[in-house]
Chains A and B, each alone.
Chain A
Amino acid sequence: MWQALRSELHPQGLEVVTVGMDTAGPEACRRFIEAANPEHPSLIDANHLVAAKFGIINIPNSVWIDEDGMIVRPAEAAPAPPSIDVARTNPFEGMDEFPDRANAIMAEAVHIEASPEAYEAALRDWVTNGADSSYALSPDEVIARSQPRDGNTSKGQAHFALATHLEQQGKHEAAIGHFRQAHELVPDNFAYRRQAWSLEPGGEGPFARFWQGPMEGNEEAWPYASEWVADVQAMGPANYYPKFQP
């Protein structure tokens, strides 16, 4: 999807940069990137640096930057490319046995709402009209629309950084403690939760990392207070991605 937009708008001066955030590193991102076969830079961010620097709290999210290096739209929900988001593609397809959890995930995922049409129309408008586009925000608006951040957000981010560092050193149990702290301190941050959940064993095969919750019959082994299905039910799947705000 990003490659298609890139092909369309690159002649008018737009470049796309995708950033795959995963503590598990490049190999975890590889099959998605190779399937998309992008002409644009496609980067790997094992430490979620892009999230820390730009204030991203869920994925996929986008940031628009103008020719002078000024942010004109801060982090906001971007339409989910079909190859990545479970809402558009069923990672459980082709399995002999369809586990209950897969049904539960898909039952919520089909109600997740994205608005690619409004988003893409806004993007085309900006690429054509630049600073005159009503979608290009002033520096003050950009700052005001960026995520709220307080002492807990900062502390939570420090814990998340420790968690990813320890995870990469193979100290998974130690990482869990810091992931938990990050989740408690920054409850709005869905990216912190999804990253931690994805590192727990769940199911088998290509969908293992979409499991994002306890295994049936072994619920007590799940180390987190949260899991994907319960959290999405609580927030309402229609609210999973905030609507595009002109």
Chain B
Amino acid sequence: MITDSLTVERNAFETATGWELKPEGACKGEVCIPLGPDATAHSTDTGTGTGTVSPTVNIEELAEQLGLALVADTDHGLWALGPETLGGRALATAVAPELTLPDLSGSDFSLSSLRGKKVLMVAWSPY
């Protein structure tokens, strides 16, 4: 994920990394990593009753606790988070991650909408 701030909206973090932040820790598929108090210390509680405040998280803490690379480009004021390295494999779980992408007309399509069918997904490039 790319960000211009180390504090990001919790939803944005979850969508970009596939890690869901739950009371028991950060979870992906059946894998859950307990988090120390600092990782979500910056969260703004949604229970304020206003319903307008988006909870945020500190990605520097989360990167350290989940073993995600965090690379800065100071010239452009940007940070990029790499993926987890749990177990030394690209997949931490065999549960297919959610993927939502546009088609040529710009309409979004989510892989999860194909549950109940077998799916052959093919990645290609026009070069």
Contact = CB atoms under 8 A, between A and B. Distances in A.
A168 to B, nearest CB: 10
8 contacts: A14-B119, A15-B117, A15-B120, A21-B123, A21-B124, A54-B97, A127-B118, A154-B85
Nearest to B112: A69
A29 B1 CA distance: 23
Interface of B: 1-2, 18, 67-71, 73, 75-76, 78, 80-85, 87-97, 99, 101-104, 106, 109, 111-112, 114-127
A10 B33 CA distance: 39
B91 to A, nearest CB: 4
A19 B126 contact: no
With a 10 A CB-CB cut-off, give which of B73, B75, B80, B125 has the most chain A CB atoms.
B125
Given A50-B121, A157-B83, 9 more contacts: A14-B120, A32-B126, A45-B101, A65-B119, A140-B94, A153-B83, A155-B82, A158-B81, A162-B78
Nearest to A25: B102
A43 B110 CA distance: 10
A16 B83 CA distance: 26
Given A42-B103, A174-B75, A22 B127 contact: yes
A29 B87 CA distance: 35
